[in-house]
Amino acid sequence: MKPVDVLGLNVEVGSGEPIVLLREVDEPHRVLPISIGGREALAIAMALSGEEPPRPLTHDLLAAIIDTLDVTVERVEVTAIRDGTFLAELVVRGPSGGALIDSRPSDAIALALRVDAPLFASEEVLDEAGAVLLVEDEDDDVELSAGEVDPEELERFRSFLESIDPSDFGTVGEGGEPDAGPDEPDR
């Protein structure tokens, strides 16, 4: 397992689907894009921005339950890709011992951000779906691996991240719960 951070959220140009971007902490700093649902994107965006909903969202409720039951989320692991769908596990520990809990990466990431749990991705997942952005010195040209993002696209993405707002990923309904489409697997 390799440690990763949440680089941010984006919206896929062709489909308009939200994407969470994880970035490998150590070299070569691969970026892992995972398509997620609107509700999960809103939950992640709110956690990243530090915004508090008027009422607890599902992931806030789960974090409160975990805290109340004296359980800790030791880590979140993006473990595999099966049939185009990312798989993840929560590594938890409580009074009765430890456990691995199957999860969608988007839900696990939204929870990890609320409980300050570290994120990891398997080497296999990073090899299969990660992208390396190779940047030379400022005076040199930007060099990218085959199939990677070009510098203009990277700059548009950086601009997008600076302007992102949680409302970009769905509306918030009564009680602070997001109104979004049906849950979908993370791709």
**pLDDT (tens digit, 9 = 90+) per residue, 1-57?**
999 999 999 988 888 899 999 999 999 999 999 999 998 999 999 999 988 888 998
Task: Work out the number of other CB atoms within 10 angstroms of the CB of residue 111.
Answer: 23
pLDDT at 132: 85
Q: Is residue 183 part of a domain?
A: no
Q: Is residue 182 part of a domain?
A: no
CA distances from 50 to 36, 114, 137 (A): 20, 9, 34
Vertex 133, ends 132 and 136: CA angle to 5°?
Answer: 130
What's the pTM value of the predicted model, to 2 decimals?
Answer: 0.74
- pLDDT tens string 64-123: 999 999 999 999 999 999 999 999 999 999 999 999 999 999 999 999 999 999 999 999
Domain of 115, in residue numbers? 2-171
Q: Is residue 180 part of a domain?
A: no
Domains held by the chain: number: 1
pLDDT at 148: 45
Q: Is residue 184 part of a domain?
A: no
Return the CATH number at 22.
Answer: 3.10.690.10
pLDDT at 15: 85
| SS3 per-residue string spanning the chain | CEEEEEEEEEECCCCCCEEEEEEECCCCCCEEEEECCHHHHHHHHHHHHCCCCCCCCHHHHHHHHHHHCCCEEEEEEEEEEECCEEEEEEEEEECCEEEEEEECHHHHHHHHHHHCCCEEECHHHHHHHCECCCCCCCCCCCCCCCCCCCHHHHHHHHHHHHHCCHHHHCEECHHHCEECCCCCCCC
Q: Is residue 25 part of a domain?
A: yes
Sheet holding 72-82, edge to edge: 31-35, 18-24, 2-11, 119-121, 72-82, 85-94, 97-103
Residue 14 in tokens? 């062709």
Q: Is residue 84 part of a domain?
A: yes
Q: Is residue 176 part of a domain?
A: no
Instruction: Round to whole Å and give the CA distance between 94 and 102.
Output: 17
Q: Is residue 185 part of a domain?
A: no
